[in-house]
Structure 1
């Protein structure tokens, strides 16, 4: 509560110059807060720009190693990997193959840059021929993801990632009971020290469009509203987070971030739990497009946007701007 009043109280005194502004700053953005997403494809010598995400690329495994070395030099502590296999099938079997694209990527990255903290996205949409996030069951022409069958496949996927050397797994499919199943699968296989970062409150958002282009993961029919959350709901998000914490999640995530900062704040205030926010592809591409047209100052808008995510309660931010932010913060 303010006890003084103007003219004795002048709040501008503490805004006089950058030194005093730094001293009283309530929220700070650090390179330590950042996770950088990477897209990996089959082949050799590939660095292919994603048209809908200027400045982002699909890398072959040999090329992603060079990129990870640059990420490490910038001080970014962690990456999260998304694989795009050459062949897809109804089960998404490449996702749990020991010779799958992500498994080979983990081994190669860990051999070349052992200090990098490697997180793997755990889902099926990039790997299935139908583009949905699990095993499909159909009744006539009506198909939906079979939740419990998918849980068994998720166990296989996370164990294969851990066996390849992943430091953390991040399930994103929004299946009921997925954290319990994954924790059991990891523990039974002897990987009790592998943490889980759950996409606990993942909304059926229109902001994912560029990602689906990048990861070639758009569903071949329908949408994902039967398993991702309704954008109108916040109390449901708190229930989802509570369940994931109870089942063994080590970090909980809200996705997307920009339009869901009220959810981030509610999650942090309610649970006081390590909380991540995903600054998703659509958020990235909108800023890039506006900056390319000269409508905004990209650096200032990016830093303000990510700072607002920290202010809302995020401890960790997954962002395609991570490399740029690391450079700007070091200046």
Structure 2
């Protein structure tokens, strides 16, 4: 029981009600205050509107200032990487056109799309290999565009978080390239793991279980691959060590690929994703009028660093398309990636040169 003293009309009363009832009363009063603030406190609403108008102008000025500053110092690298992204998008479309032609040429050839688990309406084999790689490559192109947009306008920590996603995507693509071979069961496992991810995301949601739309598929997967497939990264088990692991992590996939030399970059980008103290401290700036930065800001060094990593990752995404997918379809597309690789390499060198020059100045 909670006791509240109410003074009304000169009468002093003690009112005793259960705590839950008082909480309901206070929550209702709070909701009413927020909903009707315009009538209760019109000066607060007027002040908020004034702050909003000024804030919009200030934010627009900040973003435009940052964009001009970044392009002035780092514009050459930005332009090269954007051109590489445009060419990569065109390469993805050209490869898909070649895939469509290859599919028509092989009409009736069940081997190119046969599922290893024999489940109804489930694709496997080379067709899933091509579709999965083109999907990963297309997603990578989108993420690079996001990074360019964020970094150019001064949201560098946001670019860090998207670069981490690009790193994870490139690692998965590289792992599938290295660890899988015909009939591409590992790629098929990765593709079907989408249903496991969706089930995990929709747990308790009204939309229901995604396996409900594919009767018999879950049983076929369990019979062929066992319960371990349904664990996190369970799809990758055959490509790790001797294939007998009970649990796989992203770190295991990194090590199997041999990409540990990029681990430090991945951990650096993690700070921009997670709510660790390092990410909070990094926002403090003695030079700014507001001590904690809340919007766009000029940061040449950090922008150059994340763009260098992005250029390297975008370059890496082209290799599986030219070295794996193109020969698989017997399509002559290998040379299409040459201009992309050259632009990525040139952009990375530009950003790295800026970083080295900046470090030299810091030492002086």
Instruction: Give the TM-score normalised by the residue count of structure 1.
Output: 0.23
- Higher relative helix content: 2
Look at both structures and tell me which one has the larger radius of gyration over its CA atoms. 2
- Higher relative strand content: 1
